[in-house]
Structure 1
């Protein structure tokens, strides 16, 4: 079997990437070990074309066109031409992309096209209570109409997407994102007391503003608590930095303890476990997620994890059994959950142990790879 993934986010050292890229790198490696041929096609991070073999995955990074207003057209053609070229050499069985990925891509006869629902425009428009943009909404509807099958990363993203977009009667399944069990192993003796660790894009919907607002409430009882924030910055349409916005509008409440809240920037994926290892507790109070990778990654390292009670949070964590769920809009609730971890050390440690077992049972790459492979095989045979 030959699977071709279309994404611009496949990880490259020295460049930040999103969860989709991490997912494809992880699942691709596992599928290769199962004897599947895996190709990845997308735009390069730099102004040149590159081909590489990474863990058995054939990665084709194409030169992005920069004609304002038309780059989407030319980039799509480049991807389509490369997929056709690969198919002529070694026939492709399945092409997979994210929510809008099939809008303009020409389809090859005999090849099945899958959309993996990582959370598209309609999904986030609803969750963020904003209007669907006409152009993006049209693109996503067209992309979904052209898909032969769907994989949703959570029940939540499936149920909320199908409010707006037609999925049936085409095949659809729910398969969680895998966690790299080998990478996210417990690391002893690195915990720094009262250290909080957040990882993810630094933007409003990740709940980082409320987390910062919770710090003065925590300091009333635990004055030595610190917060390390790992992740790339987010920028407003006019180019303003969200991190700079936080420093201007939120840091005043921190008083003379500003140095206890530190933006660490993006970190290479392979170094992320060492950052989680330092945490007394990992906190991810997202307003919205499709599933999220950071929570189960930290859980896999036996960390007590505080995750959002909204969206798919309850699909990932069972409150007070494998972690803590929090109202992400309430800095008071965030502070209370963090203080609970600090105060009830034995109970928090037990949460971490149970959390790792939960990830091993549900999110291991072997289990997820088998689920994906079975779905692909069934789809190919239809």
Structure 2
């Protein structure tokens, strides 16, 4: 079998951007290659047209282009033409694409196309209680309508997306994102930088970063040694029009808390694991995710995680057993969960071990790759 993935991101030095979507695709792509499957990844909106090879995966970088009129349409048709040629030349059996922006709207292929719910603009607008542009909804709706089937990383994401776009429930299969567990080993979980709280993710309102500032203010009031490290790209704030969401976050820190905050900006993916290992507690107070790769990575590295209590996170963490689930707007309770962990080393070790077990039983890419393959094969019959 030969599988093609269409994406705007992928972890590779020549690719301009990579985050959770790209990481989840790469984890699956490598696992499929190890099972004898030919994998070709098409990464659009890049700086140049070129082909690179990485860990057995063939990666086609497709340059972004602008047209005098209707760039959104003509670029999609250009992608359609390019990908269709490679599909024919390589004998690709099936394509997979993300739901975000409805990139495959106006595209037609001679092989089945599966859309994975990494999170559409409509999905995030609903969770974030924002109005979506009608054009964005139309593109996503059209792309989904033209797909043969769908994969949801959590049941929650599947149900919400199905309701938003009135999709056929029978065409939706829940298959979690997975990790290559041997690459996420922590042989010294008891060694870390005490009182260090780590956040990894885009600095954007929907990720709960404004609430995190208020939470950290509460933490510092009771633990003057607490340190907060934030890693991730800064983003404009759509609600206020501010160019930097981090500027808003920074304005919320108390004078005492501000001295104990380090914002590192974007950090190479190869360095992220060390930051997680060095952390005492990892926090992800998001209001909008489909699953959250960095949560799974932190759990695999035996870190106690305080996550959100919203839908998708309930499929990752069993509250009080292998992490904590708290609504980010409950500032006092969220801060208290962090303080409980900072003050109890034995509890951190215990929850960290339980978190690792959860990942081993639920998010092992070796098992999940087989589930993806079985689903792909069912669509080719």
8 Å contact 1:185–1:273 — kept in the other structure?
no
What secondary structure is seen at the aligned counterpart in 2 of 1:182? helix
* Equivalent residue pairs, number: 375
Q: How does 1:1-382 map to 2 (within 5 A)?
A: 1-13=1-13, 15-46=16-47, 48-67=48-67, 70-99=70-99, 100-108=102-110, 111-168=111-168, 171-188=171-188, 190-236=191-237, 240-247=243-250, 249-251=251-253, 253=254, 255-381=255-381
Greater displacement, 99-108 / 13-22: 13-22
> Equivalents in 2 of 1:34, 1:342: separation in Å?
42
8 Å contact 2:220–2:256 — kept in the other structure?
no
Shift of 1:371: 0.7
8 Å contact 2:162–2:169 — kept in the other structure?
no
8 Å contact 1:211–1:285 — kept in the other structure?
yes
Shift of 1:68: 6.6
Greater displacement, 256-265 / 234-243: 234-243
Encode CA deviations 1:196-249: one digit per residue, 9 max, x unaligned: 0010111111111111112222122210000000111112465711112322x3
> Equivalents in 2 of 1:19, 1:216: separation in Å?
28
8 Å contact 1:324–1:337 — kept in the other structure?
yes
What secondary structure is seen at the aligned counterpart in 1 of 2:75? helix
Encode CA deviations 1:161-196: one digit per residue, 9 max, x unaligned: 111213326532100111231222115264001000
Greater displacement, 154-163 / 8-17: 8-17
8 Å contact 2:283–2:306 — kept in the other structure?
yes
Shift of 1:330: 2.2
Closer, same or farther in 2 for the Cα pair 1:44/1:136, shift >3 Å?
Answer: closer
Closer, same or farther in 2 for the Cα pair 1:169/1:185, shift >3 Å?
Answer: closer
8 Å contact 2:180–2:366 — kept in the other structure?
no
8 Å contact 2:228–2:262 — kept in the other structure?
yes
What secondary structure is seen at the aligned counterpart in 1 of 2:183? coil
Greater displacement, 69-78 / 33-42: 69-78
> Equivalents in 1 of 2:169, 2:316: separation in Å?
28
Q: How large is the RMSD of aligned CA atoms in angstroms? A: 1.7
TM-score (norm 2): 0.94
Shift of 1:346: 1.3
Closer, same or farther in 2 for the Cα pair 1:137/1:257, shift >3 Å?
Answer: closer
Q: Flag structure 1 segments of 5+ consecutive residues without an equivalent.
A: none
Q: Flag structure 2 segments of 5+ consecutive residues without an equivalent.
A: none
TM-score (norm 1): 0.94
